[in-house]
């Protein structure tokens, strides 16, 4: 590794992670495009990014756990599906051509941009039907979390676990293929399928992201697909960037930042589409 290249990786990851952290988003979605822009091929970029995804998930888990927002029972149940998805992703990643992965990445970036624009809102609590016999009740997944605004504990019931598991399999697959945490897919899945409150969904998604990424990263690592010379500086930059991002989150006004973020996501999507088409055209020309 040349120290200059390592410094670029470190700085790029720190910025990506700080920007992502400012909006409560994992850094992977920025790190892969940055690595590709620095000339790393997409398969190596994905493998290195997964390590930083783990770092960010583990590094930010403690406050959520101590704030009683993370539902660890829901997490471990859903992790059976995300890790299986991740495993499937690792198995097919080598077969899929780079342009396909770039197209998929661009699509995920656009979905993220759309999600940023659409304001998340809390659902009105539904009527309590406590005699309901379903998976969530059998597994004792229902729980509560302390709501700061209301100043009391809010109880919630978990719904439609089988649908949640299917969506989580897809999220794990995408995570392994693209080197992202796919919180962008996990949070809506928990919101719409399981009907978790948004804060619980974000905290639990963040908690699960580490294990999901570890499942694919362990396989890539065993296959010697992870280059420490790339993954090391990227992970270090991500952790420090995430710390910085958490500080900025307190001070930067939200609305303008959201628009900047959407613009960046769309720009990255265009860049990914462009390189996908270039590679595709190049492959046909030769």
Partner 1 sequence: MRPDLGRHLRLERLLAGVLRRGTWLATGVIALGLALTLIGWPDSTAAVTMTSARIVTLGVALFILLPVFRVLLMMIVYVREGDYCFGAIATLVLAIIILGAALGVHMAGAMPG
Residues 118-177 interacting with partner 1 (rule: CB under 8 A): 130, 139-144, 153, 155
Residue 103 Cβ vs partner 1, minimum distance, rounded to whole Å: 25
Three-state SS for 155? Answer: strand
The correct pick among 17, 22, 49, 70 for binding partner 1 (CB under 8 A) is 70
Can residue 264 be called a binding residue for partner 1 (CB under 8 A)? no
Contact characters 230-249, partner 1, x per CB under 8 A:
-xxx-xx--x----------
Token pair for residue 5?
Answer: 């290249």
The correct pick among 87, 98, 107, 262 for binding partner 1 (CB under 8 A) is 87
The correct pick among 37, 65, 259, 270 for binding partner 1 (CB under 8 A) is 65
Size of the site for partner 1 (CB under 8 A): 64
Angle at which helix 254-285 crosses helix 98-117, to 10 degrees, equals 160
194 and 186 Cβ atoms separated by less than 8 Å: no
Binding segment (CB under 8 A) for partner 1, from list 35-43, 228-236, 252-260, 267-275:
228-236
Q: Tokens 């390592």 identify what position?
A: 6
- Closer by beta carbon to partner 1, 198 or else 236: 236
Binding segment (CB under 8 A) for partner 1, from list 83-91, 96-104, 189-197, 264-272:
83-91
Q: Residue 218 half-sphere exposure, CB side, CA atoms within 13 Å?
A: 9
Alpha-carbon dihedral 82, 87, 91, 92, rounded to 10 degrees:
0
64 vs 77: CA distance, rounded Å: 18
- Whole-angstrom CA distances from 118 to 113, 121, 188, 190, 258 are 9, 9, 12, 17, 11
Binding segment (CB under 8 A) for partner 1, from list 49-57, 112-120, 254-262, 270-278:
49-57
55 and 40 Cβ atoms separated by less than 8 Å: no
214 vs 19: CA distance, rounded Å: 23
Point out which residues bind partner 1 (CB under 8 A).
1, 3, 6, 10, 51, 54-55, 57-59, 61-62, 65-66, 68, 70-74, 76-77, 79-80, 83-84, 86-87, 90-91, 94, 130, 139-144, 153, 155, 210-211, 213-226, 228-229, 231-233, 235-236, 239
């Amino acid at each position: 590794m040349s120290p200059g290249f390592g410094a670029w990786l470190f700085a790029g990851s720190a910025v990506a992670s700080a920007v992502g952290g400012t909006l409560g988003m994992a850094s992977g979605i920025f790190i892969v495009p940055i690595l590709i822009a620095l000339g790393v091929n997409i398969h190596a970029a994905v493998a290195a990014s997964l390590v930083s995804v783990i770092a960010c998930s583990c590094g930010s888990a403690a406050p959520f756990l101590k704030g009683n927002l993370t539902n660890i029972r829901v997490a471990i149940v859903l992790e059976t599906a995300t890790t299986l998805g991740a495993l499937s992703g690792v198995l097919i990643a080598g077969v899929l051509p780079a342009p396909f992965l770039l197209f998929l990445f661009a699509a995920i970036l656009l979905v993220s941009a759309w999600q940023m624009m659409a304001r998340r809102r809390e659902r009105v609590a539904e009527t309590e039907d406590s005699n309901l016999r379903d998976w969530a009740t059998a597994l004792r997944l229902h729980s509560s979390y302390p709501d700061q605004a209301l100043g009391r504990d809010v109880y919630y019931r978990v719904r439609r676990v089988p649908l949640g598991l299917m969506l989580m399999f897809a999220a794990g697959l995408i995570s392994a293929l693209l080197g992202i945490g796919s919180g962008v897919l996990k949070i809506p899945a928990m919101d719409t399928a399981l009907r978790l409150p948004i804060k619980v969904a974000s905290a639990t998604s963040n908690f699960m992201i580490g294990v999901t990424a570890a499942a694919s990263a362990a396989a890539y690592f065993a296959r010697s697909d992870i280059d420490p010379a790339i993954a090391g500086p990227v992970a270090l930059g991500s952790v420090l960037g995430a710390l910085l991002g958490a500080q900025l989150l307190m001070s930067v006004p939200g609305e303008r930042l959201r628009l900047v973020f959407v613009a960046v996501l769309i720009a990255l999507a265009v860049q990914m589409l462009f390189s996908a088409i270039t590679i595709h055209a190049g492959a046909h020309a030769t």
